[in-house]
Structure 1
Amino acid sequence: MARKKDSESITEDDVSLFRRLIGDAKPLPQTNQAPEHRPRVSTRARFARRDEREALAASLDADIDETETGAGASLHFHRPSVGRRTMRKLGRGKFSVQDEIDLHGMTVVQAKDALQEFIGACELRGCTCIRIVHGKGLGSGDRGPVIKNKVNKWLKQWDEVLAFVSARQIDGGTGAVYVLLRKS
């Protein structure tokens, strides 16, 4: 094992050699953080993502079908391209749920943002069946199931949603929906 040199054993030659080797080097600033090296995203990709987010936000803001449902009411919706057999399979939980989100306890704004981000991520990953837990709204008092009604509205507006139906009792019952997404 090598022994550590004492400070007295460093010669003038050692010091001059060290100074020559470091040359014009200057100490780094003391930020205690490594510099951030993020890969550059092309302008086209950045604008495409922004446009997609804006389109999704606009579609979620549009006012269509403000039908309100009760806490125990089942939700169901399908595009004309979705057949009865597919709806039956969806309602019976026969599709494999690839991801889920729980919106319990969120405000409408938080739920909308979370749902928007979640559906976008699922679309990018190619998910075809997801579960959204919105709750039954039993704690909302006279206002009824606020998040449930908003989810019902938003999903009908989202073009990537082919169909949705209230989940089986074991998966949340009328407090959750299975959602069938278009294949990307």
Structure 2
Amino acid sequence: MSRRRKLRPDEKELWDKVAGSTERMHPEKRVLARPEKKLAKAPVPEAQPKGRTEAERALQPFRLGEKARGRSGGHDVLPPLHDRLHQAPLRMDKKTHGRMTRGKLAPEARIDLHGMTVDRAHQALMAFMLRAVQNEHRLVLVITGKGRRPEEDGPIPVRHGILKHQLPHWLSTPPLAQIVLQVTAAHRSHGGTGAFYVYLRRNR
């Protein structure tokens, strides 16, 4: 492949004369300049008056945590068991109920579930209640114990006294629900908050 030779000065002069006497086959297109878009100016924020702003003036001084509630006694979201039993509708004779809650009625039978596992306590309660119905008892005493409270509460809610909290549930579900008329916390002479009166329906 041969190299392209550079034109001599006399040849360059002749070429310019020839090129100047010719016309372009494709004349150059005139490009119209596009109008420049004016950029919208960002709004200039108004100068804030010196000193405190209105929001700052409306903000009252406070101390971090001043409205926080004190530490509660536990994680239980339900009212205490004693309150729930006390608020339960009265299904038995009012006069008899008053004598019972004051410890004036002597239970005809009693069972102590304290120290048992949940499964064993449930089975023992079932057998005891069915015997009480067969013996035509009306008032029995169920002792669950108050429950041992751990030294520190952890982040996971844990009920204290599992048998005490399970008892109302067991008595309100079949087959015991059909024979139980009223459940209430026992008088302190019969165990207080660690025991419960269970008043049975009349055996017909």
The bucket for the TM-score relative to the shorter chain is: 0.5 to 0.7
- For the pair 1:117 / 2:127, whether they are aligned, the reply is yes
Q: Choose which of 140, 156, 177 in structure 2 pairs with 1:130.
A: 140
Q: 1: CA distance between counterparts of 2:135 and 2:104? A: 21
Q: Choose which of 151, 169, 174 in structure 1 pairs with 2:167.
A: 151
- Greater shift in the superposed pair: 81-90 or 69-78: 69-78
- For the pair 1:85 / 2:95, whether they are aligned, the reply is yes
Identity between Structure 1 and Structure 2 (%): 31
Does structure 2 retain, via aligned residues, the 8 Å contact 1:138–1:144? yes
Does structure 2 retain, via aligned residues, the 8 Å contact 1:128–1:181? yes
- For the pair 1:162 / 2:181, whether they are aligned, the reply is yes
Does structure 2 retain, via aligned residues, the 8 Å contact 1:77–1:156? no
Q: 1: CA distance between counterparts of 2:183 and 2:104? A: 13
- Specify whether residues 103 and 148 from structure 1 end up closer, same or farther in structure 2 by C-alpha distance, changes over 3 A only: same
Q: Kindly provide the CA deviation profile for residues 60-113 of structure 1, in whole angstroms up to 9, marking residues without a partner as x.
A: xxxxxxx85658767447665424323212211222211000000111100100
Q: 1: CA distance between counterparts of 2:187 and 2:140? A: 13
Q: Which protein shows a greater Rg?
A: 2
Alpha-carbon distance, 1:134 to partner: 0.7
Question: What residue in structure 1 maps to residue 193 of structure 2?
Answer: 174
Structure number with the higher helix fraction is 1
- Specify whether residues 102 and 87 from structure 1 end up closer, same or farther in structure 2 by C-alpha distance, changes over 3 A only: same
Alpha-carbon distance, 1:119 to partner: 0.2
Q: 1: CA distance between counterparts of 2:159 and 2:181? A: 29
Gaps of 5+ in 1: 1-66
Aligned length in residues = 118
Gaps of 5+ in 2: 1-76, 152-157
Does structure 2 retain, via aligned residues, the 8 Å contact 1:132–1:177? yes
Q: 1: CA distance between counterparts of 2:144 and 2:179? A: 19
Does structure 1 retain, via aligned residues, the 8 Å contact 2:82–2:185? no
Mapping of residues 1-184 of structure 1, within 5 Å: 70=80, 75-76=85-86, 81-139=91-149, 142-157=158-173, 158-184=177-203
Alpha-carbon distance, 1:150 to partner: 0.6
Q: What residue identity is the alignment partner of 2:201? A: R
Q: 1: CA distance between counterparts of 2:79 and 2:169? A: 11
Q: 2: CA distance between counterparts of 1:81 and 1:70? A: 21
Q: TM-score, with normalisation over the residues of structure 1? A: 0.56
Does structure 1 retain, via aligned residues, the 8 Å contact 2:186–2:195? yes
- Specify whether residues 139 and 101 from structure 1 end up closer, same or farther in structure 2 by C-alpha distance, changes over 3 A only: farther
Alpha-carbon distance, 1:178 to partner: 1.1
- Specify whether residues 89 and 78 from structure 1 end up closer, same or farther in structure 2 by C-alpha distance, changes over 3 A only: farther
- Specify whether residues 86 and 105 from structure 1 end up closer, same or farther in structure 2 by C-alpha distance, changes over 3 A only: same
